[in-house]
Amino acid sequence: MFGTPSISEVAALVGNPARANVLMALLDGRALTAGELAYAAGVSPQTTSGHLAKMIDARLLVLAKQGRHSYYRLASPLVGRMLEGLMAVAVDGPPRYQPMWRGADELRMARTCYDHLAGRLGVALADALTARDYVVLTEDGGMVTPPGEEFFLGFGIDVHHIGHGRRAFCRPCLDWSERRPHLAGALGAAVAARCFDLGWISHAREPRVVKILPKGARGLADLFGIELQPSR
Domains and CATH numbers, the chain: 7-75 (1.10.10.10), 103-224 (no CATH)
Q: What is the pLDDT of residue 226?
A: 95
Q: What is the pLDDT of residue 81?
A: 79
Q: What is the pLDDT of residue 5?
A: 55
- Report the alpha-carbon distance of residue 120 to residue 168 in Å, rounded: 23
Q: What is the pLDDT of residue 4?
A: 52
Q: What is the pLDDT of residue 88?
A: 73
Which residue ranges in the chain fall short of pLDDT 50? 1, 102
Q: What is the pLDDT of residue 104?
A: 72
Q: What is the pLDDT of residue 72?
A: 93
